[in-house]
Amino acid sequence: MKSLEELRQLRDKVEKEMKMRDESNRPEIIIGMGTCGIAAGAREILQAVLAELEKRDVDAKVTQTGCIGMCEREPLLDVKMPGKDRITYGNLKLNDVKRIITEHVINENIVQELAIARMDN
Amino acid sequence: MKDIIYRSHILICTGTGCTSSGAKKMRIALEDELAERNLNKEVKIIETGCHGFCEKGPIVVVYPEGVFYCEVKSEDIPELVEEHLLKGRIVERLLFKEPVTEENIPSYHDIQFYKKQERIVLSNCGKIDPENIDEYIALGGYEAVGKALSSMSQKDVIAEVKNSGLRGRGGGGFPTGLKWQFAHEAVSNKKYVICNADEGDPGAFMDRSLLEGDPHRVIEGMIIAGYAIGADEGYLYVRAEYPLAIKRLEKAISQAEDYGLLGDDLFSSGYNFKLHIKKGAGAFVCGEETALMASIEGKRGMPRPRPPYPANSGLWGKPTNINNVETYGNIPYIIKNGAEEYSKIGTENSKGTKVFALTGKINNTGLVEVPMGTTLREVIYDIGGGLGEGMKYKAVQTGGPSGGCITSEHLDLPIDYDSLLGVGAMMGSGGMVVMDDGTCMVDVARFFLNFTQSESCGKCTPCREGTKRMLEILERICEGEGEDGDIALLEDLAHHIKDTALCGLGQTAPNPVLSTLKYFRHEYEAHIFDHKCPAGVCKDLASAYLIDKETCVGCSICAKACPVDAITGTPKESYQIDDDICISCGVCASKCPVSAISQG
C-alpha cells in the first residue's frame, strides 16, 4: 500500500458488494414470487432485474414477496423509492424491466402504462 | 472484483459457539439447497465471526432485508430457501422470540439484546467475513493506519490515544497512551509491540470472539502502536486452545502482507512493520506480561519482579509495549474519529465501551458491548434477559479468579474501572458470571482458589504455599470440618498473599475469598458453626432428602432415577430414602411428578 489514496480506491472497488448489508434507505425492487408469479416467469424477471442493475451500476435492494392475490397480472414487480409511494407494475415482459429501471429507479418517473397500483408510503 | 453481483447475502456465524451448535453442517445443507434450486449465482453465503448472541446459535442473517434467524438447523434449510429466498416470506418460527412479550422480532436492531449495546470494537463482528480483507477495507478498515502514517507524527498518535482516555482492557485499566509514551521515550535501536491474547479467565471469551470475528482490527491497532513507539516487529501471543482465532489471524496477516499493509515502507512513510503469532501452551500465568515475554523467548513462563517495566526492558531486554486484544481493537476507531469523539462515550475516568462475556444462570448467554457507566441491572436484565425461570439473583462475579462479587444492592452501580474497585470487585478482562440463590459462595471461592492454586507457577512462596493453605481451609469448610478461627486465618493469609506475592496472579488470587467474605460471611459461618450449606451445594453439609409419605403416589420414578440405588419401596404404595446411601444429589426431587421429595 503506497498511499491513503490507493487504499481509498481499493475501498471504492470493494464497497459495492458490502452495500448489500447496508440497511439504510435505498430504492427497493420487490418481485412477486408466489407459485403464480414463478409460473408466469418471475424468476426470469428477477434475473433480468439483477442484470440490469449491475449493467447500470444502480444501488438497489432486490427482495421478493409472495402472492398478493393479483395472480392474473403476474409477473408483478414493485418499485419503492425512498420516501415515495410503492408502485406495482404488472403483466411484465422481460424487456419492460430495462424501462422500469431506467425511467423509474434512475430517473424517478413512474412508467404510467405499466403501472397497475399504488400503495401509500 | 467479483463478476457476480448477488441479490442476497446469507451470513452464517461460524464463531466457536455457533460452530459447536452445528453451523458447519447447516452451511453445507444450505450450499446444496441453493445449488439444487439454481440460486447459487444469486445468493452468496458468507461465514462471519461471532454476533455475541451465542445462546441462540447457530445464527443466520439474511440481507438485504437484514432478517435475523436463530437456532437454524440443517433441517430448517429447505424451508428457509423455499420461503425466504424464493417467495420472500419470512420464516416466522425461526425468528427470535422476545422472552417477555413472546413477540417475533425479524430485525437485528429491534432485539432487546442488541438495542442497548453500543458496538465499537465489535462493530464488524458478525457483519463481515473475517477471512476476507476486502470486507474490512470496504467498511473503512486500515484507514486509521493510513491516516496515522501519512499525516500524524508519533507524538500526535500518542497524544490522540492519551486524550481519548482509553485504559487497558486486560483488567488493570492503566492509561494506554501513557504506556505508549513510556515505550516511545525509551531509547533503543530495537523495540517490540505485543498483543496479549492469552485469555484465561473461566467464562471469558471476549478476545477470542474479536480475533475470530474481526482479526484485521486488532492487527491495525498493533501497527499503529508499533509506529507510535517506534517498533518494527510485533507478536500476537494467542493460546493454542483458540485454533480458529489462530487460523483467521494467520490468514489475516498473510492478506495484509499481500496488500502491503504489513511489511516495508507502509504508505510510503518509510515505516516497516512485521507481525508474528506465538501460540501459548495454556498456562494461566502467561497472561502476566513478564511471564508472557519469557514464554515468547522460549523460556519457562514465569513472572519476574518489576521494575524494570516492559516499556524499558521487555522482550529480549528491548523496550516493549504490551496491550490486550480489546485495547488494540479500540485504536483504529480513536485514530479515525479522533479522541474527542471517542471520549464522548463512557464516564469521567473510564472512556469508551467495554465488552463483557455473560455466562452463568442468565437467559442470554453471550457477548455484549456497552458504554462504560452502564449499570449492572441494564446488562443483566435488559440485555441479558434476566435469570432463568424461578431463579433469584444472588451475585455477579466479575474479573474472574482475580475479581470479586457484586451483590443485588449494587445492581444500579454504573460500571467502570473505579466503581467496581470501590465495591471490592474489578473490571478484569470482562467475564461476568451470573449466580442465583442455588449457588454456594464458599464453593465459588473454593472453585476460583482451586483454579489459581493449580495455575500458580510456584516461583514465589506466598502464592505457591499461601494459596495452597487457603484452599485446604476452604475445602475443609465445604466438607463440614471448618473450625472456629478459620475465617480469621483465611483473612490473615489473604492479606499477606496480596501484599507479598510476586505477580498479579498471586496478588489477586485471594480476591474471590475476600469478596465473598465481605458480602456472604454468614454463609461461611453457617458452614462452620451450623454445619449447613444454605444453598444446598456442599454435599457433606446438604440436608438429607425425605419423601413425604402422604404425597407419594408410589410411581417408582425416583427409585429408577437414583444413581446410587438409595430409594426402595413398593410400587403403588410408597418409597423411602436410605440416608446412609443417599449422596444428596437431588435427582429424585427434580424427577418426582408430585413434588413429594424435599430437603429436610
Q: Which residue, among A20, A42, A57, A59, has the nearest Cα to A97 in the 3D structure?
A: A42
- B124 contact residues in A (CB cutoff 8 A): none
Q: Is B386 left (phi over 0), alpha (psi -120 to 50) or beta?
A: left
Of the given ranges (B283-297, B312-326, B417-431), which has the lowest mean pLDDT?
Answer: B417-431
Cα of B147 to nearest chain A Cα, Å: 7
Cα of B410 to nearest chain A Cα, Å: 38
**Shortest CB distance from B88 goes to which of A16, A33, A50?**
A33
Give the cell for residue B365: 448467554
Q: Which residue has the higher pLDDT, A55 or B232?
A: B232
What percentage of chain B carries pLDDT values higher than 90? 73
Which chain A residue has the Cα nearest residue B268? A2
Q: Quick check: A54 and B5 CB within 8 A?
A: yes
**Residue A26 falls inside a structural domain:** no
Check whether B2 has a pLDDT greater than 50: no
The CB-based long-range contact list for B404-410 (8 Å cut-off, 24+ gap) reads B404/B511, B404/B512, B404/B514, B404/B515, B404/B516, B404/B518, B405/B435, B405/B441, B405/B444, B405/B512, B405/B515, B405/B516, B405/B519, B405/B520, B406/B376, B407/B519, B410/B376
Q: Which residue, among A95, A121, A96, A91, has the nearest Cα to A111 in the 3D structure?
A: A96
How many CB pairs below 8 A link A and B?
A: 98
**Shortest CB distance from A64 goes to which of B6, B86, B260?**
B86
Q: Quick check: A21 and B42 CB within 8 A?
A: no
Of the given ranges (B138-142, B532-536, B542-546), which has the lowest mean pLDDT?
Answer: B542-546
- B5 contact residues in A (CB cutoff 8 A): 16-17, 50, 53-54
Range of the domain at A58: 31-119
pLDDT given at position B287: 93
Cα of B39 to nearest chain A Cα, Å: 10
Q: How far is CA B222 from the centre of its chain?
A: 21
Asked if the C-beta of B65 comes within 8 angstroms of chain A's C-beta atoms, the answer is yes
Q: Quick check: A1 and B65 CB within 8 A?
A: no
Write the CB contacts of B417 (distance below 8 Å, at least 6 apart in sequence): B167, B173, B349, B350, B372, B426, B427
Q: Which residue, among B408, B405, B387, has the nearest Cα to B397 in the 3D structure?
A: B405
Check whether B201 has a pLDDT greater than 90: no
The domain over range B545-599 is classified in CATH as 3.40.50.300: no
* Residue B547 phi, psi dihedral angles, 5° rounding: -100, 125
Alpha-carbon distance B524 to B485, whole Å? 11
Of the given ranges (B34-38, B103-107, B236-240), which has the lowest mean pLDDT?
Answer: B103-107
- A61 contact residues in B (CB cutoff 8 A): 64-65
Domain at B353-436: CATH code: 3.10.20.600
Q: Quick check: B65 and A38 CB within 8 A?
A: no
**Shortest CB distance from A7 goes to which of B2, B9, B142?**
B142
Alpha-carbon distance B559 to B549, whole Å? 14
Check whether B182 has a pLDDT greater than 60: yes
Cα of B346 to nearest chain A Cα, Å: 27
Query: Which whole number is the average pLDDT over B78-82?
Result: 94
pLDDT given at position B600: 62
Q: At what angle do helices B511-529 and B441-455 cross, to 10 degrees?
A: 130
Query: Which whole number is the average pLDDT over B433-444?
Result: 93
pLDDT given at position B111: 84
The domain over range B133-342 is classified in CATH as 3.40.50.300: no
**Residue A4 falls inside a structural domain:** no
Asked if the C-beta of B489 comes within 8 angstroms of chain A's C-beta atoms, the answer is no
The CB-based long-range contact list for B377-383 (8 Å cut-off, 24+ gap) reads B377/B411, B377/B412, B378/B116, B379/B415, B379/B432, B380/B411, B380/B432, B380/B434, B382/B112, B382/B115, B382/B116, B383/B112, B383/B113, B383/B116, B383/B117, B383/B358
Asked if the C-beta of B82 comes within 8 angstroms of chain A's C-beta atoms, the answer is no
Q: Which residue has the higher pLDDT, B428 or B370?
A: B370
Local confidence band at B332 (pLDDT 50, 70, 90 cut-offs): very high
With vertex at residue B499, the alpha carbon angle to CA B496 and CA B503, rounded to the nearest 5 degrees, is: 115
Residues 136-175 of chain B with CB under 8 A from chain A are 137-140, 142-143, 146-147, 150
Based on the structure, what is the number of domains in chain A? 1
Regarding beta strands B8-13 and B43-48, do their DSSP bridges make them parallel or antiparallel, or are they unpaired?
parallel
Query: Which whole number is the average pLDDT over B198-214?
Result: 91
Check whether A24 has a pLDDT greater than 80: no
Q: Is B560 exposed, middle or buried (0-12, 13-18, 19+ CB in 10 A)?
A: exposed
Class of domain B441-529: mainly alpha
Cα of A36 to nearest chain B Cα, Å: 11
pLDDT given at position A13: 85
Q: Which residue has the higher pLDDT, B542 or B423?
A: B423
**Residue A54 falls inside a structural domain:** yes
**Residue A3 falls inside a structural domain:** no
Give the cell for residue B461: 512462596
Q: Quick check: A11 and B9 CB within 8 A?
A: no
Regarding beta strands B431-436 and B393-398, do their DSSP bridges make them parallel or antiparallel, or are they unpaired?
antiparallel
Write the CB contacts of B13 (distance below 8 Å, at least 6 apart in sequence): B23, B47, B48, B49, B50, B51, B57, B58, B59, B60, B126
- A66 contact residues in B (CB cutoff 8 A): 87-89
Tell me: the pLDDT tens digits for B267-314?
999 999 999 999 999 899 999 999 999 999 999 999 999 999 999 999
Residue in this structure with the C-alpha cell 436410605, named with its chain if needed: B578
Local confidence band at A34 (pLDDT 50, 70, 90 cut-offs): confident
**Shortest CB distance from A4 goes to which of B6, B128, B146?**
B146
Q: Quick check: A63 and B138 CB within 8 A?
A: no
- A16 contact residues in B (CB cutoff 8 A): 5
Q: Which residue has the higher pLDDT, A72 or B474?
A: B474
Instruction: Kindly list the domain boundaries of chain B, sorted by start residue.
Output: 8-110, 133-342, 353-436, 441-529, 545-599
Interface-testing mutation among A11, A19, A45, A53, with chain B (most B C-beta atoms within 10 A):
A11
Local confidence band at B51 (pLDDT 50, 70, 90 cut-offs): confident
pLDDT given at position B345: 96
Check whether B3 has a pLDDT greater than 80: no
Query: Which whole number is the average pLDDT over B574-582?
Result: 87
pLDDT given at position B400: 86
Q: Quick check: B89 and A38 CB within 8 A?
A: no
Q: Quick check: B42 and A46 CB within 8 A?
A: yes
Cα of B111 to nearest chain A Cα, Å: 16
Query: Which whole number is the average pLDDT over B66-74?
Result: 93
**Residue A13 falls inside a structural domain:** no
Which chain B residue has the Cα nearest residue A11? B138
The domain over range B8-110 is classified in CATH as 3.40.50.11540: no
**Residue A38 falls inside a structural domain:** yes
Q: Which residue, among B233, B223, B50, has the nearest Cα to B142 in the 3D structure?
A: B223
Asked if the C-beta of B66 comes within 8 angstroms of chain A's C-beta atoms, the answer is yes
Check whether B440 has a pLDDT greater than 90: yes
Interface-testing mutation among A21, A33, A43, with chain B (most B C-beta atoms within 10 A):
A21
Q: Is this prediction's ipTM beyond 0.85?
A: no
- B150 contact residues in A (CB cutoff 8 A): 3-4
Average pLDDT of the residues of chain B: 92
Local confidence band at B168 (pLDDT 50, 70, 90 cut-offs): very high
- B137 contact residues in A (CB cutoff 8 A): 7, 10-11, 14
Local confidence band at B4 (pLDDT 50, 70, 90 cut-offs): low
Query: Which whole number is the average pLDDT over B131-140?
Result: 94
Residues forming a β-bridge with A32: A65
* CATH number for the domain that contains residue A109: 3.40.30.10
Residues forming a β-bridge with B358: B366, B432
pLDDT given at position B55: 85
- B135 contact residues in A (CB cutoff 8 A): 14, 17-18
Check whether B1 has a pLDDT greater than 60: no
Q: Quick check: A31 and B88 CB within 8 A?
A: yes
